């Protein structure tokens, strides 16, 4: 079963496929995990994935922003033409491995936090939760200092749905 993906052009297509299935930016380590999730991809090395990502960035098939790789429109168009060349088992395993990452990325897009420093060193936080179509909740909260602001932002990111539910219960 070893060697289903040859590490050349097929690896490039597999990387594009994995990035498309994630639907959000992914670090090199994540891309490596995704492309080696299927049986027959165990001969692919981290160096090969890293090198292939650099090639895809150089040809504008993938964009690199803040250390995360994301498929571009050009990459998606080329993938549409070539993904059928990947063995079905490889596509299937890669897609299954990407599903939890895609779910996490979609959730991150629905939860927003931002902060503005105030004159006396406190922070005004803007916290919001969306359902993808409409904003469900928007809160402005004053934090006494940076540590408290960071803790509130992290707690909101971790438990936004629960916080929303608690507020709705209290209000209705």
Alpha-carbon dihedral 48, 50, 54, 55, rounded to 10 degrees: 20
Q: Quick: pLDDT tens for 106-150.
A: 787 889 999 999 989 999 999 999 988 899 999 999 999 999 999
CATH fold of 9-107 reads Arc Repressor Mutant, subunit A (1.10.10)
The domain segmentation of the chain, as residue ranges, is 9-107, 118-171
Q: Which of 86, 83, 82, 3 is nearest to 39 (CA)?
A: 3
Provide the token pair at 22: 């994630």
Chain segment 7-64, per-residue pLDDT in tens: 688 899 999 999 999 988 888 999 999 988 887 787 889 999 999 999 999 999 999 9
């Amino acid at each position: 079963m070893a060697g289903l993906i040859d590490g050349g052009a097929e690896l490039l297509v597999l990387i594009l496929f994995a990035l498309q299935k994630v639907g959000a930016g992914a670090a090199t380590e994540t891309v490596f995990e995704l492309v080696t999730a299927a049986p027959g991809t165990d001969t692919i090395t981290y160096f090969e994935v890293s090198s292939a990502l650099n090639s895809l960035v150089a040809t504008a098939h993938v964009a690199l922003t803040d250390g995360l790789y994301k498929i571009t429109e050009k990459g998606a168009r080329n993938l549409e033409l070539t993904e059928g060349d990947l063995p079905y088992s490889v596509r299937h395993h890669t897609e299954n491995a990407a599903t939890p990452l895609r779910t996490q990325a979609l959730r991150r897009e629905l939860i927003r936090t931002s902060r503005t420093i105030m004159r006396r060193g406190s922070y005004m936080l803007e916290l919001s939760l969306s359902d993808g179509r409409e904003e469900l909740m928007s809160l402005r909260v004053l934090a006494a200092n940076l540590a408290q602001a960071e803790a509130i932002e992290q707690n909101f990111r971790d438990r936004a749905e629960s916080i929303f539910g608690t507020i709705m219960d209290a209000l209705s």
